[in-house]
Structures are given as C-alpha cells and as structure tokens.
Structure 1
Amino acid sequence: MPDLTFTGIGSGLKVSEIVNAIVGAEKAPFISRANKQQAEMTTDISAIGALKSALESVESSISSLADADNYQLRTASGADSFVGLSASKDAQIGNYSVKVDVLSQSHKLMSGAMAEDEQVGEGTLNIAVAETNFNIAVSASDTLSDIRDAINDSDDNESVIATIVTDDAGQHLIMTSKETGVANAITTTVTDLDDNNNVDGLVGLSRLAYDVSDPDDSLHIKNLTQIDEAVDAQITIDGTLVVTSSTNEFKNVIDGVDITAKKMHDVDDNDDVSRISFKENNGNIKSGLEGFVKSYNELQVLSKQLGAAGESGSGPLAGDSLLRGVMGKLRQQFSQAFDMGNGNSMSLSQLGVESDQYGVLSLDTETLNEYIDSDVAGVQQFFVGTDSENGFASSLEELTGFYTDTDGVIQNRIDSGTSQLDRLDDDYLAFERRMDSLEARLFKQYNAMDLIVANLNSTSSFLLAQLDNMPGVVRKDN
C-alpha cells in the first residue's frame, strides 16, 4: 500500500500552508527577476532581428546596382513568328533586316522492306555521324527489330535514333540523326559475312550500307533510301550577308546578338523579311534606385520606432549604440563623394536622390534620366566603382554586410542574447531543484515537530489520567 502522510494532525498546525508560504517567499524574487531578464532579452533579440532584416532589405535592393553586367544592356525588338532574338550588352545600337532562307534538318535514312522474321545477315554495322561512330554486331539470326534495339541500346550511340516503320511491303528500319545540319549526316558501312560483299546491297547486311561522304566519289553507296536530307539553316542579313548554321540558332552573327530561325520567309518575296532593332536599356538604374529609396525609408521608419525615447514611451533600442552607429554610418555614406577621375567626383544627390529634414529619401527621376543620358558610363562607375576602388553600391553592400553577415555584429549580438536565454533556462531548472529540496526538507522538519508534539500530547493525556485515578487526589475544575 502507498505511504499516506497527514501533516499537522499532532500539532494542529497547517503545515502544508506554512511550507508553501516559505517556499513561495523564496521563489518570488527569483522568478520576478528571471522573468524580467527574459522579457528584456527576448525584446532585444526581436528588435535587433527586425533591424537586421531591414538592413538586409537595403543591401538586397542595392545589389543589382553593384553588378557591372546589369548596365548598358540592350533591348531587342522585331522578334516574330520567323525569328527569335536575344541581345547582350555587347550588341551595338542599330537596325537590321533578317530573312530566313532555309531551316536546318536532320538526316533520315530508310532501309528496304523486309519481313518481320527475316534474318538480315551476319556481320558488323558501323554507324558514323560527324566525328563519332560506333559498331553494332549483327548475328545470323537478327532481324531488323533486333538491329533497331541494338542501335538504341548501344552505350556508344550518342547520335542516332532507330525505329521500325511497317507498310504493306514489310518492315523498314529508319535511322534519324539526333542533330541537324550537313555535318551530322549519317554514314553506314558494313562488314558482310554472308557473301563477303560489303556494298552490293543484294543480300546480307550490305543492304544497310549508305556512304556518300566523299563528294568526289562517283560510286556512292546508296543501299538505304534518303528520306530527309541533312540541311544547314541559312539566313540573309540586310539582303546581302548570308550566314549558315548546323542548327537553327545563329550565335553572335551580329555582335552580341543571337538569332533563332523559326520559320522560312517567302523565297520569292524580297520584302518579306523580319525587321530587328537594338536600343540601349538602362532601366535597371532607375528601378534599382527606386527599390533602394523604398527599402531605406522603411529602415528609417523602423529605426525611429526602435530608438524612440520620450514621455509617450521608449523603443526597445532607445539609446542603443548599435542602432545609432549603423544609422549614422548609412547617412554618412549617402553624403560621400566618389572619385570619378580627372579631378571629378560624384555623390548620390547629383543623381536625384534627396533627403528631407526627417531623413526620408526621394528620387528625382528627371535629374537621374538626364545624368544617364549624358554619362551612363559615369553612373555605372559611381555605383560599381573600379578595379582599385569600390563605388557607392559596392561600398554600401560592404557596410551593411559588416552588420548582417552570419558572423556580423548583429548576428553576434543575437547569438549572445540567445545564449543568455539558454543560461536563464538552466538557472531556472537549477533553482526549481533547490526549491524542491527546500520544500522536502521543510516538510520533513515540520512533520518531525508534529510527531514530537503528538507524542507530548499523548504523554500529557496519560499523566493526567493517572493523576485523576490516584487516591486522595481531588481534581479542581475551573
């Protein structure tokens, strides 16, 4: 049976209430202090985390302006159902006409008709495309289907797809080059072990021979039928410049421009052409600055909330040196002039970014556009910098990274606060164990006292009873 303990029976004292009151009096100051510290640390971590997030937003908004590849881009126009376009910053501004004369085509060959179970003939079939070739070993019992499977399953085959097409005459082996263009034409040569004639095409494996690779050879082997010729794509630029490609993509045929042929123009109509043009695109500067101004103004609002101090209440980072430091350095960065060479310098305000009396930024797009039109290379240098010196955007990224990096100032503070919270949890657990020990000790002491009092009461009652029974003793009652 479980042990049952009834406290205070012997003494009449409310032992449980006394013990709980003593333990509670010990706990109250510690819990109050711990809760206060935990609340302060949690608030600090949350506030610092919000500051870090806002700084990361500023850093992200300026990052596109720190990349030289994002400047002086080109906008291509004129893409249609005939041609597709893409242009890099190397493309020169200008207009061109493009006519698609021919689309590229894969080479396709077909064998003569054979019965489904017909044995083609023993030997070796070599298939060559461009600079690659591979061998297929054909046994005496192999059919066209077996040869198809051997071609498609060959680990060395990177160039040909084989299939079977069946018509009224029988089965035909179809081989198609995976790549388009003249250079990817298919050549098949055989070693025919049936009649030791590798080219006659009458019986055996020689029926699959096809070799027209030598243009000077008048005795081309054509035991396969050419269904589709291997064709290079061809376009004509500005009516005179003819360009060919093994695919329908023409890379860098105009400096910095890739053209994709999609459909042929009318061969007999010289006016049926695609008109393409390329213009300078510096839209990234305006959009990048607009994003930066927006994210910084959001940071400015947050910093005032975090650092507020006054009768209406204080922010969680009021008087905090970290908040003051980062905002001060950012404002200093905005006013810094960057060397542009030849004794010239430029600051952010010259590009139309202005600050009002409350520190709120705004962008004068008219001023910005005028500067871009007059010296876009200078604008790029201001933001990106040179090989030896960072520009505004690069410097700002470095500044914000000092605070926001994984080993930066803010993260170190967050990690420190988190460690303190963990220590508080450990201290609380240790304190709870001490309080449990104190409670157990007090109960033990009070229960011992209760037992002593109970024994004394029992002894007192016994003595009084004995005295009452003694002869000649008269008990005086009040």
Structure 2
Amino acid sequence: MSISFNGLGSGLAVSDIVDALVNSEQAPAEARLNTKEASLTTDISAVGALKSALEKVQTSMEALGDSDKYQQRSTSGTDDFISISADEDAQPGSYNVKVDALAQAHKLSSSAFTSDEAIGAGVITIGSGDNSFSTVLSATNTLEDLRDQINNGPFTGNDSNDSVVATIVTSDLGQHLVLTSKETGEENAIKITVQDSDGNNTDTGGLSRLAYDVTDADPLNHTTNLTEVNAAQNAQITIDGTLVVSSSTNEFSNVIDGVDITAKKLHDAADSGDISDISVTENNNNIKSGLSGFIASYNELLELSNTLGASGEDGVGVMAGDSLLRGVMSKLRDTITNSVNVEGNSLSLSQLGVTTDRYGVLSLDSDTLSDQINADVGSVQQFFVGSNDDDGGFAQSFDELMSFYTDSDGIIQNRIDSKTNQLDDLDDQRESLTSKMESLSSRLYAQYNAMDLLVASLNNTSSYVQAQLENMPGVVRQSN
C-alpha cells in the first residue's frame, strides 16, 4: 500500500496530477471498449430480429407443406338422429338418411330361484359372437355362484369370457340371472348349452333350466328356457330412400365413400318430414389462409429488412451493407419466383395469384387463386407438397433454404454466438484495463511521493545552510 504525502515537500497537488495522468490513459481505452460493446450489442439485436422474422416466414410456409390439410371435406347433416364425419376420400354430394333401427345388445333372463337353491351340476357353455367359454358347476352351486364364475371364472381349458356380463336381479318371485352381451348386433346373440348331470340338457329341470339356443334353422329345435328381454338387433339405415344398410353397431363406416355415419335415434312415422340430409363439400381453405399468412409474414420481414439495411438521407440502418442481410433477402426473392414442375407443367406462386409490386411487397389475387384451385386443386397441392416420387414440393425447398439461416447451428446463430463471445472478451479486457490502471496509479504515486520527499529534504538542507551562513562572524544581517 502506497502512502501519498500530497504537497508536503513540493506543494504540488499529487493526487490530482496522478488522477489526471491515469484518466488520460484510461478514458480512450474505455471509450474504445464501450464503442465496441455498443456495436456488438446492436448487431446481436438486429440479427436476432432478422432471425425471428425469418422463422415466422418459415413457419407460415410449413402449413402449406402438410398434405393432410388439403382437399379436406366439410360436412353438414349432424342432427338428433345421426352424426357424420368425412375424410378426403368423400366426394362432394348430398344424401338423405333414415334411421330404421338402432343396434341392440342381446339380453336374457332366467326364471326365479331362491338365494340358497342349488341350480344343478354340470357344465354350462356360453357363446356370443366369436367368444365361447365353459364353466363347471357342482351340485351345491347357487345362482350367485354361477354369476361369479361367468364374470370371473374359473373357466375350462384356456377359455375366457370376453362377451357376456352376468348380473342378478331380485324380484318378488326370487333371484333371476340376467345375461347381457357386451357387443350389440345379431352376430353377438347369446347361445347357452349345458351338459346336465341328470342327462337331459334341454328340459326345465336342473342346470338345463338355463339353456338357450335358437341357432338352428328349424324353430322346433330351439331351446328357450330363458326369457329374451332384448333381442340381438342390428342397426339399419336407408340411404336416399332405396339403399338399405345394416351394421352390428350404430356406426356405419364408409358406407358412402369417405363418410362415416353414426345412428343415434330412430326416425319413426312422426319424423317422416325430418329425414336427415347429408351434404359433403370440398374444403381447400387452407391454401388461401396459408398463402395469406405467408404473404403477411414475408411483408413484415421485408419492412424489417428495409429498416435494418436503410442507407440514405433519412438515416443508415444498423445492417446497411451487411452481406448477410443482402444475401438472405436476395435468395428469398429468387425462391418465391421459382417454378415447380407439376406433372410436366411448371407452376409458380405468381400463377397462384401471388403478385409483387415494384417495392417487393407481396399481395394475393384471390380470384386467380380460386380459379387455379377450381381448375386443378391436385396440381396446387403437388406444387406445395410434392408427389411420392420426389423429395417434396415448394414448401420443402423453402424450408431447407430458411433452415440454412434459422437452424440452431445455422449461419445466423453462428454469427450471434461469435458476437456474444466477443462481448465476453470485452469483459476480460475491462478487467485487464482496470488492473493496468491500478498498477499505473500505484507507480505514479510512488514516483511523485519520492519526488515530494526529495524536495522536502532539499528544502530542509537549504534552510540549514542559510541559517549557518547567517550565523557566521562578520555576516551583517539586513535590518527590516
């Protein structure tokens, strides 16, 4: 630590002199660092704004490269009786639909049993649709035991119950076993056969009291020891008054190309004037909305570019003359004028109604676009999306161009990272400058303090010599 004796010997303002000398060294260096920092910060901000604008343009074009958004179908006709949906395979048109029947699950109910009554020993086999399972009952099993075995097993062999739910309903007469198929439709009707321990598998005694089998074509061979509560029933609709369609569920998939219909409610005689009307129209709104979004984002980018690259009487932009800005805007202008080969013919954005004024601003001629869509929407889709035989259409090539600039390892981010590293270097230079100025200050204080002490010593010597001379014999002092 240096100690300053400001002016004790020399009378000089040592602190002021040292501060002035240090500041004369420090101020220009700090000014250079501040200027460099401002330049780097401004560049990072400008290039970051450019990247954001480019990403917005890139995103707007991505929507036009999604093939799933083309030739969609808009449908109308969902009402109290039906609901509908359609995909791109649906052809524009109109139809009327009448719901004749709703799908119904098969339900059977047994006669009454007491809670502790043995229902009979043997094997009972239950089938519904493609599923069939068997379970074994002992002479002491009750209706509740059978219900539990139907729902949870055990079953014989590798059987499993995927098709029937068993419940017990208790009436004034006793307990009734109720079986309901899990799936609707005639093909899921329940069939119950037994191997009764008494040897008679179809009578109304023992386990055969639960037999139900109406699969034989001859009604005389039917076994109906259970009561049918709800018949297994298919849904049925009539299209355009003549075309009858059945389904095991209430869903009719693709009965009209690309159109799915779900029946919800019967049309009865009172609803004859309310037959459901279905209308399918083609929806290509994504093209116009996509192009409009692209044009808006491009024009915003163009305005930003003009501001950043301005050079004239009104001022100079922060990226005036910058090769990055000139390069990306030049490539963009070239790209949006490019043509794409579509089935042997060239197609471009200008042919789709995208026009450019003398300042480069884009606009959309909706009539031209509509004419092109109506004439051949497939070609428009292929222009943007490409076909299965190539690497993609306009949207993909545009995305590849933008990615060169906007990717996390793209040219713009590399520039931002480089400038950020330079900012970090400035921090190191500031610390170095501070250390250097502290060293200079200490050295100057040491030099000036040494000078001050020397001057003080010389002054003391001068005073001593003067006093000795004055006290020598023969020396006459001057009177005041």
Normalised to the residue count of structure 1, the TM-score between the two structures is 0.75
Match of 2:184 in 1: 180
3-state SS of 1:277 partner? strand
Match of 1:371 in 2: 372
CA pair 364-452 structure 1, distance change in 2 beyond 3 A:
closer
- In 1, Cα distance between equivalents of 2:288 and 2:41: 39
- The counterpart of 2:416, out of the listed 414, 417, 427, is 414
Letter of the aligned partner of 1:65 in structure 2? L
- In 2, Cα distance between equivalents of 1:15 and 1:339: 83
- In 1, Cα distance between equivalents of 2:228 and 2:13: 110
Match of 2:216 in 1: 215
- In 1, Cα distance between equivalents of 2:29 and 2:146: 86
Match of 1:144 in 2: 144
The alignment covers a number of residue pairs equal to 464
Range with greater deviation from structure 2 (8-17 or 107-116): 8-17
The alpha-carbon deviation at position 141 of structure 1 amounts to 7.6
8 Å CA contact 2:192, 2:213 repeated in 1: no
CA pair 54-434 structure 1, distance change in 2 beyond 3 A:
closer
Match of 2:73 in 1: 74
Structure 1 residues 252-271: aligned runs within 5 Å:
252-266=254-268
Aligned-residue CA RMSD in angstroms?
5.0
Whether 1:357 and 2:358 are equivalent positions in the alignment is: yes
Letter of the aligned partner of 1:248 in structure 2? N
3-state SS of 1:49 partner? helix
3-state SS of 2:316 partner? coil
Match of 1:323 in 2: 325
Whether 1:276 and 2:278 are equivalent positions in the alignment is: yes
Range with greater deviation from structure 2 (222-231 or 347-356): 222-231
Q: Give ranges in structure 2 of 5+ residues lacking alignment.
A: none
The alpha-carbon deviation at position 253 of structure 1 amounts to 0.9
The alpha-carbon deviation at position 417 of structure 1 amounts to 3.3
Letter of the aligned partner of 2:308 in structure 1? L
Match of 2:48 in 1: 49
- In 2, Cα distance between equivalents of 1:185 and 1:64: 49
8 Å CA contact 1:136, 1:151 repeated in 2: no
- In 1, Cα distance between equivalents of 2:146 and 2:436: 86
3-state SS of 2:315 partner? coil
Match of 2:406 in 1: 404
8 Å CA contact 1:130, 1:184 repeated in 2: yes
- In 1, Cα distance between equivalents of 2:433 and 2:390: 63
Letter of the aligned partner of 2:46 in structure 1? A
Larger radius of gyration: 2
8 Å CA contact 1:15, 1:443 repeated in 2: no
CA pair 424-379 structure 1, distance change in 2 beyond 3 A:
same
Match of 1:243 in 2: 245
Letter of the aligned partner of 2:84 in structure 1? L
8 Å CA contact 2:135, 2:149 repeated in 1: no
3-state SS of 2:341 partner? strand
The alpha-carbon deviation at position 223 of structure 1 amounts to 5.2
- In 1, Cα distance between equivalents of 2:424 and 2:174: 81
Identity level (%):
52
8 Å CA contact 1:148, 1:164 repeated in 2: no
Q: Give ranges in structure 1 of 5+ residues lacking alignment.
A: none
Match of 2:384 in 1: 383
The alpha-carbon deviation at position 54 of structure 1 amounts to 1.9
Range with greater deviation from structure 2 (6-15 or 258-267): 6-15
8 Å CA contact 1:138, 1:147 repeated in 2: no
Range with greater deviation from structure 2 (137-146 or 230-239): 137-146
